[in-house]
Amino acid sequence: MRPLLLLPLLLCARLQPSVALVVEFEHDGSVSVSEDSTREAARSAPAHRLSASTASKQYRDTAYAVGLRHAGGPGPRAAGLAATEFADLFVALIDQESRFDPRAVSSKGAQGLGQLMPDTARLLGVSDPFNPSENLDGAARYFTAQLARFGDVRLALAAYNAGPHRVEEYGGVPPFRETLAYVATITAAVDRAPAGAALTRPAPEAASAARGVSTNPEMQRNGVWDFN
């Protein structure tokens, strides 16, 4: 009688295939999930992409935490920034640089969340620019260095975008379209957000302007220049 009792179970096992959950991590930092009955079918099944906002929020929160960790340094103090003010400013900077994409690479070779140029990353001791924690820490140290150097938020942002030598050369924010829009977009994002709040993405027209082509050919870049 045992074979007869097991027969319905065997039939159910044949009629009810096992279900596999396939999770794939994409190069852009997003996650895809597909569900199917067999490994072969899973390869051809359409993937259901999770909302990009999930990964974005994760890196946004990490950037805020990194900002808080660096907020007590001489740079933020020189610019008169409270801890939450600096953290909000740093989050807005990272949003403008990479839209929280840890795999972002600009046309000029700037890499990762903070869009560090390779030479800058090396000077900062960032061995893997695509490691979110390493990149954010390096970006925060670079930005606080500019705050300490210039003692002014707008000048430090301009230095992050155009290079500190350009700020010194022009005695202020360089008159490059990209840099002017970059500074305006980030400061506007901070001004319209309460302390500690998630900053909203800049309006499309502002983002386009910030990534536009500079009137100076030497300024056609999207990332951090040399550390010095």
Choose the catalytic residue: 97, 168, 169, 178.
97
180-208: pLDDT as tens digits: 999 999 999 998 765 444 343 333 333 33
Domain map (residue ranges) of the chain: 18-50, 53-219
> Number of C-alpha atoms within 13 angstroms, CB side, residue 201?
12
Which phi and psi angles does 194 have, rounded to 5°? -65, 155
pTM, full prediction: 0.66
Under CATH, which architecture does the 53-219 domain have? Orthogonal Bundle (1.10)
User: Can 169 be counted among the known catalytic residues?
Assistant: no
pLDDT at 44: 43
Segment (H or E) for 110: none
What is the CB neighbour count within 10 angstroms for residue 77? 16
| Tokens linked to 223 | 């990332």
99-153: pLDDT as tens digits: 999 999 999 999 999 999 999 999 999 999 999 999 999 999 999 999 999 999 9
Position 226, amino acid = D
Using the predicted structure, report yes or no on whether residue 1 has a pLDDT greater than 70.
Answer: no
pLDDT at 225: 53
pLDDT at 51: 60
When pLDDT is cut at 50, 70 and 90, the band that residue 89 belongs to is very high
